[in-house]
């Protein structure tokens, strides 16, 4: 591994050369089944023919134009995305490049919405303890986890964290005189695949509506079909004011999006916000393929079916090392009675290679907290591949 990188990641000792479907191959020829999808990014798997063709065709035509001009591909992508989010009441979109950038946009919308209607000072944004919203200074300020804050203050002011599930604390925090928005993950990803309780979301939506506070769902990890619905918040039947997306939205090409419903769709005006790369034609062409594939009831239903089967299989083992299994769709966690990291390493080390005289595959997984394994496989994974991967995991526990 090159030592010119800033030392920000604990990288595992495998260098990938290529991928196909739910499989990746290292430069040494070793083969791995991918239960990570690049942290919920490669939702159509690797080397997906329609995605590759769309990216190659678009690259040959036009990669980028400034947002000061128009792009038919970007417009088609934006229209298709708003249509996919219409069941949640979304009307308009701003295209960005990442989850953090999308959440920055959401915070700006909440603050300006409030400032246009109320006195200055009503700018607080409430988020949950244990949440994860990104690594920029403002999205770190929104992230309710001390461990990410260390060394980086001072932070953007006006964020308040409440314990997840505590309705009294939420009622107090969502003060109509001081609060502009409530930002929440429908299923918390980084802190261990924790779906919100329906009663909590319903009450939060009621508080927000009564007090004219924007209800904003961070769907960067759980959106774009991951839970078996296009948006994770659809499971609660509430209508958010703002939704943010990124990760899987263009299947591996960087893109992010802030969507707004009726209340907030007109808040940002000319000159208020911008992004050089945001939704450029290359990302838009890739995003269109993802939307055409994923925003389809049969495809979404299959994500849910495969996810349920994945969880059922894990539970059926009654394995003494597995203390609990939970998830929604293909967003699954297993709590262990031991550290997760050595299990991740053992699953990678299972990979044989032609030069080792073995073709046994390894398995790629993620952790979420010290004792939790996290599984975010590509949506195109087959039932047989799920079984194969879980057998590898069993051998590592």
CA–CA dist 119, 178 (Å, integer)? 9
> Closest distance between ligand PLP and the C-beta of residue 109, in Å?
16
218: contact with ligand PLP by CB under 6 A: yes
Near ligand PLP by CB under 6 A, which window of 98-106, 339-347, 371-379, 386-394? 98-106
Residue nearest to ligand PLP (CB): 99
Question: Which residues 130-159 are close enough to bind ligand PLP by CB under 6 A?
Answer: 132-134
Burial category of 154 from C-beta neighbours within 10 Å (exposed 0-12, middle 13-18, buried 19 and up): exposed
> Closest distance between ligand PLP and the C-beta of residue 272, in Å?
21
Tokens encoding 247: 């990760």
Beta strands 31-34; 23-26: pairing state = antiparallel
> Closest distance between ligand PLP and the C-beta of residue 317, in Å?
28
Identify whether the C-beta of residue 321 lies closer than 8 Å to the C-beta of residue 190: no
Near ligand PLP by CB under 6 A, which window of 82-90, 151-159, 218-226, 344-352? 218-226
Identify whether the C-beta of residue 35 lies closer than 8 Å to the C-beta of residue 373: no
Nearer to ligand PLP, 23 or 132 (CB): 132
Near ligand PLP by CB under 6 A, which window of 96-104, 152-160, 203-211, 291-299? 96-104
Question: Three-class SS of residue 114?
Answer: helix
CA–CA dist 301, 88 (Å, integer)? 18
Helix then strand then coil, in percent of the chain rounded to 5, is: 40, 20, 40
Residue window 238-277: x/- pattern of binding to ligand PLP, with contact defined by CB under 6 A: --------x-------------------------------
Near ligand PLP by CB under 6 A, which window of 92-100, 201-209, 264-272, 284-292? 92-100
CA–CA dist 111, 298 (Å, integer)? 39
185: contact with ligand PLP by CB under 6 A: yes
- DSSP secondary structure string for all residues of 267-327: SS-TTS---SSTT-HHHHHHHHHHHHHHSSHHHHHHHHHHHHHHHHHHHHT--TTEEEEEE
Q: 166-185 burial by CB neighbour count: b if 16+ within 10 A, else e?
A: eeebbeebbeeebbbbbbbb
100: contact with ligand PLP by CB under 6 A: yes
> Closest distance between ligand PLP and the C-beta of residue 148, in Å?
11
Nearer to ligand PLP, 34 or 185 (CB): 185
> Closest distance between ligand PLP and the C-beta of residue 194, in Å?
11
Tokens encoding 373: 């394994």
> Closest distance between ligand PLP and the C-beta of residue 69, in Å?
26
34: contact with ligand PLP by CB under 6 A: no
Question: Three-class SS of residue 168?
Answer: helix
Among 26, 99, 144, 307, binds ligand PLP (CB under 6 A): 99
> Closest distance between ligand PLP and the C-beta of residue 336, in Å?
21
Identify whether the C-beta of residue 46 lies closer than 8 Å to the C-beta of residue 24: yes
Nearer to ligand PLP, 38 or 307 (CB): 38
Near ligand PLP by CB under 6 A, which window of 99-107, 261-269, 329-337, 343-351? 99-107
Q: Which residues pair with 276 in a beta bridge?
A: none
Beta strands 362-364; 31-34: pairing state = parallel
189: contact with ligand PLP by CB under 6 A: yes
How many residues lie near ligand PLP (CB under 6 A)? 14
Nearer to ligand PLP, 189 or 361 (CB): 189
Pick the closest to residue 249 from 306, 218, 289 (CA basis): 289
> Closest distance between ligand PLP and the C-beta of residue 139, in Å?
7
98: contact with ligand PLP by CB under 6 A: yes
Residues that bind ligand PLP (CB under 6 A): 98-100, 103, 132-134, 185, 189-190, 218, 220-221, 246
């Amino acid at each position: 591994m090159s030592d010119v990188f800033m030392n920000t990641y604990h990288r595992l000792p495998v260098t990938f050369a290529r991928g196909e479907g739910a499989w990746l191959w290292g430069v040494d020829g070793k083969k791995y089944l991918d239960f990570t999808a690049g942290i919920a990014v490669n939702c159509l798997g690797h080397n997906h023919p329609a995605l590759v063709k769309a990216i190659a065709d678009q690259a040959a035509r036009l990669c980028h134009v400034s947002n000061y001009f128009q792009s038919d591909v970007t417009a088609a992508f934006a229209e298709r995305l708003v249509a996919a989010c219409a069941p949640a009441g979304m009307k308009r979109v701003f295209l960005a490049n990442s989850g953090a950038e999308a959440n920055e946009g959401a915070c700006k919308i909440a603050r300006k919405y409030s400032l246009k209607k109320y006195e200055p000072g009503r700018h607080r944004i409430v988020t949950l303890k244990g949440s994860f919203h990104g690594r920029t200074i403002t999205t770190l300020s929104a992230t309710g986890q001390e461990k990410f804050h260390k060394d980086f203050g001072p932070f953007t002011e006006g964020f308040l964290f409440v314990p997840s599930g505590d309705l009294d604390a939420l009622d107090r925090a969502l003060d109509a005189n001081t609060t502009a928005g409530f930002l929440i993950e429908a299923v918390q990803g980084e802190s261990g695949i924790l779906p919100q309780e329906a009663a909590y979301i319903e009450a939060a939506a009621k508080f927000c509506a009564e007090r004219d506070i924007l209800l904003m769902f961070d769907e960067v990890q759980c959106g774009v079909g991951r839970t078996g619905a296009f948006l994770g918040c659809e499971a609660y039947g509430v209508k958010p004011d703002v939704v943010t997306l990124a990760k899987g939205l263009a299947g591996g090409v960087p893109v992010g999006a802030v969507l707004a419903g009726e209340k907030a769709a007109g808040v940002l005006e000319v000159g208020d916000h911008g992004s050089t790369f945001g939704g450029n034609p290359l990302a838009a062409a890739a995003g269109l393929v993802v939307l055409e594939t994923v925003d389809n009831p049969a495809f979404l239903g299959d994500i849910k079916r495969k996810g349920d089967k994945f969880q059922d299989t894990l539970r059926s083992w009654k394995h003494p090392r597995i203390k609990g299994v939970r998830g929604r769709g293909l967003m699954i966690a297993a709590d262990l009675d031991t550290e997760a990291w050595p299990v991740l390493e053992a699953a990678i080390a299972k990979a044989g290679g032609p030069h080792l005289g073995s073709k046994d595959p390894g398995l790629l997984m993620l952790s979420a907290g010290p004792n939790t394994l996290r599984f975010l496989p590509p949506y195109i994974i087959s039932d047989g591949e799920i079984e194969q991967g879980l057998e590898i995991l069993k051998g590592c526990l």
